[in-house]
């Protein structure tokens, strides 16, 4: 690939996508801290009449604080403090923040001199710029170290399977592991065949051969598959990508050696090498970040505002059905991640032991279970199920990041074991408390129809679709649907 083609690729767009959460977090904290510091130092400097003091100087206090926050973020942006840094260090961060702070200070005092604004306190500005630099450094370092610690504990981490064990595969895996801030972790490699293959590649295990890829995708959490094969094995790329498409996995293909193009592929760059990315399912980073923000805000607000109702339901369950009030059950989340869903208990404590005897009454065609008049339901459980109020505690799962307010229904592990291959793509998006299945097909007895609705949601996903489903969920609850 020539230099002109490389220029069109852009500057490491693949990496920028993975660090979007960090960039947005830094930007939001920087803007908020600048606004708050402006107000707090104004109050400390001028006392209770700080608003009238600024107005006397010819400025609206809220407007000038907002403008200051915008300028502060813009200067940090110009100094590259929201870009990925290959050699990031505390020293470089301190140096660039101080440079940005000094630039704004010089520009501010120059403007005061040129425009002759004697009513603006110089002492206020000196205090603001000194404290701003200290707060910005402290907050940015805390965010970076905090996110790194969370990823070390397995939070917000994405898992990558490397297909190939040759030099190209090793180099690509090494590149991933050099950039810990991306939250990517290589789980291992797949060899071309078992003859003469090593058990490890560098420090990473060889999990099997390419023939085992389906078992690996089903048995482990895999978010992305990197196909790193030599040119003589290019014929294996298409069947691997087709399988990953069925599974809803993102595929990355380093093409510095292959020179390959595939329909629907997006040309990106990662640490200096061109990568062909095939993205199956939602990959709009900013929109998905907005979806997560909405989950956190509405989930927290829901738990607070509905606390009296939650308490009443808990009291009714305890009074009429005894304990426990809550029911925890392992479900399968994004790309096969197991988690414990939390619901109000609606069944007898030994409900799982009675399941086998009820299998012949199952009304669903496929790997799911549903009985209209389930004898295991408790007195309060029937109306909790009819109104879906038993689902409300799942907002805790939403806050934890295991679920979303809207998404596919979270399946049981035994259901996933019975999935056909095309069913598994419903795991490519975080499960939700409500979804298209709940508002359209809840009475449908065909499991394939449920999955079709989930896949339609994934393919059509947008924030507007989430809002429409949430609005339709409320009347569905009151109507007992």
pLDDT tens-digit readout, 243-300: 998 888 889 988 876 666 666 677 777 777 888 888 765 556 667 778 888 999 999 9
CA atoms within 13 A on the CB side of 167: 4
Tell me what pLDDT residue 430 has. 93
458-472 residue pLDDT tens: 988 888 999 999 988
Q: In what order do the strands lie in the sheet with 266-270?
A: 200-201, 204-209, 184-191, 158-163, 224-227, 250-254, 273-278, 266-270
391-428 residue pLDDT tens: 999 999 999 989 999 999 899 998 898 898 889 999 99
Helices 307-321 and 379-387: crossing angle in degrees, nearest 10, is 150
285-336 residue pLDDT tens: 667 778 888 999 999 999 999 999 999 999 999 998 888 999 999 999 999 9
* Residue percentage of the chain with pLDDT more than 90: 32
| pLDDT band, very low/low/confident/very high, at 7 (cuts 50, 70, 90) | very low
The mean pLDDT of the chain is: 82
Tell me what pLDDT residue 3 has. 40
- Asked if 346 and 380 count as a contact pair (C-beta separation under 8 A), the reply is yes
- Is residue 10's pLDDT more than 60? no
Report the SS3 class of residue 237: helix
Tell me what pLDDT residue 258 has. 61
Q: Using a CB cutoff of 8 Å and minimum separation of 24, what contacts does 360-363 make?
A: 363/445
Whole-number Å distance between alpha carbons of 378 and 316: 11
Q: What domains sit in the chain, N to C, each tagged with a CATH number?
A: 14-152 (no CATH), 157-280 (3.40.50.20), 286-478 (no CATH)
Tell me what pLDDT residue 366 has. 67
52-104 residue pLDDT tens: 888 887 788 899 899 999 999 999 888 878 765 544 567 778 888 999 989 98
Query: What is this structure's pTM?
Result: 0.71
368-385 residue pLDDT tens: 767 667 778 888 888 888
- Is residue 8's pLDDT more than 50? no
Tell me what pLDDT residue 480 has. 58
Q: What is the DSSP string of 53-113?
A: HHHHTT--HHHHHHHHHHHHHHHHHHTTTTS--TT--HHHHHHHHHHHHHHHHHHHHHHHH
- Is residue 432's pLDDT more than 90? yes
Tell me what pLDDT residue 198 has. 65
Rg (CA), the chain: 27
């Amino acid at each position: 690939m020539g230099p002109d083609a490389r220029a069109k690729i852009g500057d490491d767009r693949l990496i920028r996508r993975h660090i979007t959460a960090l960039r947005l977090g830094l930007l939001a904290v920087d803007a908020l801290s600048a606004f708050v510091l402006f107000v707090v130092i104004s109050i400390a400097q001028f006392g209770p009449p700080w608003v009238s003091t600024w107005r006397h100087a010819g400025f609206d206090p809220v407007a000038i604080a907002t403008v200051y926050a915008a300028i502060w973020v813009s200067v940090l942006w110009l100094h590259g403090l929201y870009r990925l840094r290959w050699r990031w260090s505390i020293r470089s961060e301190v140096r660039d923040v101080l440079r940005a702070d000094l630039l704004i200070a010089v520009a501010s005092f120059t403007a005061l001199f040129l425009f002759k604004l004697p009513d603006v306190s110089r002492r206020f500005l000196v205090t603001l710029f000194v404290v701003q630099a200290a707060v910005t450094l402290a907050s940015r370092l805390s965010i970076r170290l905090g996110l790194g610690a969370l990823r070390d504990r397995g939070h917000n981490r994405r898992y990558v399977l490397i297909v190939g064990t040759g030099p190209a595969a090793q180099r690509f895996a090494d590149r991933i592991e050099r950039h810990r801030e991306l939250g990517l972790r290589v789980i291992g490699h797949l060899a071309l065949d078992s003859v003469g293959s090593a058990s490890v590649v560098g420090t990473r295990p060889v999990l099997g051969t390419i023939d085992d890829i389906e078992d690996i995708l089903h048995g482990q959490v895999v978010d992305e598959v990197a196909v790193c094969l030599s040119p003589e094995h290019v014929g294996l790329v298409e069947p691997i990508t087709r399988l990953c498409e069925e599974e809803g996995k993102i595929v990355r293909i380093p093409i510095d050696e292959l020179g390959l193009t595939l329909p629907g592929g997006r040309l990106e760059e990662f640490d200096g090498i061109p990568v062909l990315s095939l993205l199956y399912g939602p990959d709009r980073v900013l929109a998905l970040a907005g979806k997560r923000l909405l989950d956190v805000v509405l989930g927290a607000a829901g738990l607070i505002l509905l606390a009296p109702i939650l308490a009443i339901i808990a009291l009714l369950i305890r009074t009429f059905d005894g304990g426990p009030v809550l029911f925890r059950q392992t479900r399968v989340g994004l790309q096969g991640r197991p988690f414990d869903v939390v619901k109000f208990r609606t069944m007898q404590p030994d409900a799982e032991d009675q399941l086998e005897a009820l299998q012949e009454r199952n009304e669903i065609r496929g790997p799911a279970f549903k009985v209209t008049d389930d004898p295991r339901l408790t007195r309060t459980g029937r109306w909790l199920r009819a109104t879906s109020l038993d689902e409300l505690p799942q907002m805790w799962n939403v806050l934890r990041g295991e679920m979303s307010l809207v998404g596919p229904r979270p399946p049981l592990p035994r259901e996933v074991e019975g999935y056909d291959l095309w069913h598994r793509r419903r795991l490519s998006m975080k499960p939700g408390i409500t979804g298209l299945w709940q508002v359209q097909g809840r009475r449908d007895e065909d499991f394939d129809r449920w999955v079709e609705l989930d896949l339609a949601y994934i393919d059509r996903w947008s924030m507007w679709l989430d809002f429409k489903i949430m609005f339709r969920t409320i009347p569905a609850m009151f109507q007992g649907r």
